[in-house]
Every structure is written in structure tokens, then in C-alpha cells.
Amino acid sequence: MLEDDFTYVIRKAFKGLALAPAEAAWLADLPENEVLTFSKGKFSPETARKLARALGLKPEALANHEGYLPKPLALANIRRLDLPFSGERVNAWIVRAGDAAVLFDTGYDPKSCIEQLETTGESLPDQIFITHAHPDHIGGVSAFLAKGIQLHGSQINHASLMKPGDEILCGP
């Protein structure tokens, strides 16, 4: 699956923040059974908004996520990496242009992203951009830092700080 349905987004947020549904319900000021029902597939935009705030997600994005399914695109220079995340899966993306390559997110554990790149014969990226600091997106950072690869993001140790609107040229 290219995009995550709302139940998967919630399950990953619970795991990434090490929260039980009961804890998330308390933080969102929602009844626990409402959070459980939502996480099992009964969508409610209002529940989504409240839960998103408690989980550090964008409330309107989650409130509009039910049924979201973009059309797949085949782009030769962009490759999806399907990485393990505590019994689930998480995406990372490598983008190549000329001899340059950048990676978006590193997965949950320090080994899986590098191993997948090596297994498929791909070279390591020149730079890494982190979309957000949830553990399933930054868990592999240490392995890339150990190889001297430059890291960009916000609220991430050892990263060059990036703010919305910042631009960095990587290759052509």
C-alpha cells in the first residue's frame, strides 16, 4: 500500500509515541471506547481532529483522511523503501538525479534502510531529509550519521535545522 489509511496512521502514532489507546484518549479528552472504535475503522472527523492534536498530527489532514487514496505514479528516479516498524511497515523514499541521491526519512531501526539499499545495489544517499521526528522516521539516523551523511530536519539531534520554506540544492 502506497498510502496509509487512517487506522494505520493512528496505530503508527500510538507505537511511535509509546501510547496505549487509553492514554491517547485521555490526552485527547475522548472516551476510550471512542478512540478504540476509531482505531478499528469507524471514522469520525471530530474524533480525528481531537486525536490528531493529542498525537502531534495535523488535525485537518487526519479529519480529511478517510478514503484518501492518490493515484499511483511511476517515477523512475524516485523509489519507495518499505521498511519494518514493530510489526507494521513504514515508508522512506530515495530520490536520484544525475549522480546525486537524497533520502527522505530513515525508517525505525538503524539497519533496515541501509540493508535495503545495499541489497538492491543502490548507493547510499548524499543527504537525508527528515519529514518529522517520530521514531518510525528517525530510528535509522545513527547508521547514516556514522557514515558521515548530512542530515536535515527540525527537532532532530545532529541535523541541520530546516524550517518550512527552506530550500537546499542537491545535485542537478
pLDDT of residue 69: 65
Per-residue pLDDT band at 121 (split at 50, 70, 90): confident
Threshold 0.75, pTM exceeds: no
Q: What would the pLDDT profile of 80-118 be if each residue is shown by its tens digit?
A: 888 988 888 888 999 999 889 999 999 998 899 999 998
pLDDT of residue 88: 82
pLDDT of residue 148: 93
pLDDT of residue 169: 87
Per-residue pLDDT band at 23 (split at 50, 70, 90): very high
**DSSP states of the chain:** --S--HHHHHHHHHHHTT--HHHHHHHHT--HHHHHHHHTT---HHHHHHHHHHHTS-HHHHHT-TT--PPP---TTEEEEEEEETTEEEEEEEEEETTEEEEE---SSTTHHHHHHHHTTPPPPSEEE-S---HHHHTTHHHHHHTT-EEEESS-TTPEE--TT-------
Q: What would the pLDDT profile of 44-92 be if each residue is shown by its tens digit?
A: 999 999 999 999 999 998 898 877 666 776 778 888 888 988 888 888 9
- Average pLDDT across the chain, whole number: 88
Among 44-48, 135-139, 152-156, 167-171, name the most confident range: 44-48
Q: Kindly state the percentage of the chain with pLDDT values over 70.
A: 94
Per-residue pLDDT band at 171 (split at 50, 70, 90): confident
Instruction: Kindly tell me if the per-residue pLDDT of 1 is higher than 50.
Output: no
